Amino acid sequence: MGKHFGELAKIRGLITYKLSPHEQRAYAGAISNGLPNIFRRFRESVFRVAPEPLGKSYKMGKHFGELAKIRGLITYKLSPHEQRAYAGAISNGLPNIFRRFRESVFRVAPAFVIGYLVYEGVEREHHRLSRKNPADFENDS
């Protein structure tokens, strides 16, 4: 073996980096130094009510050039001029709409038909019951 962690050979598309001995101890002191520091910062942020002294300043955020350094993360992106926003919208999109409609119409249509028939029947019955019965007024003078 004889090689350090960062000096391992490139295996099947894996990208490795050479780490210095200082970087290899990534979590050294995380429990002994990190947790008390987290609690201290939390306590300072929650219980800070008075304005800070002039010499001391806290920055909530940073600008994009000053963010944390992230190592080993590879991102790929296309230029906005290379992207085709509506590529295949007509040739692939319209047939897909019709296919999805055909697949779901037999699940959705019966519920709508039953709902419409119930609505029409209830409205018809309500209209019939809200009218006066002519037989009740035959003997009026």
> Could you write out the DSSP letters of every residue in 96-121?
HHHHHHHHHHHHHHHHHHHHHHHHHH
pLDDT digits (tens, 9 = 90+) for 9-42: 444 554 545 555 555 555 555 556 656 666 666 6
* Confidence grade of residue 1 (pLDDT, cut at 50, 70, 90): very low
Q: Decide if 5 contacts 19 (C-beta within 8 A).
A: yes
Q: What is the pLDDT of residue 115?
A: 98
pLDDT: which is higher, 30 or 65: 65
Q: Cα–Cα distance between 101 and 20 in angstroms, integer?
A: 59
Place of tokens 């609690």: 39
Q: Is 109 a residue whose pLDDT tops 90?
A: yes
Q: What is the pTM of this model?
A: 0.36
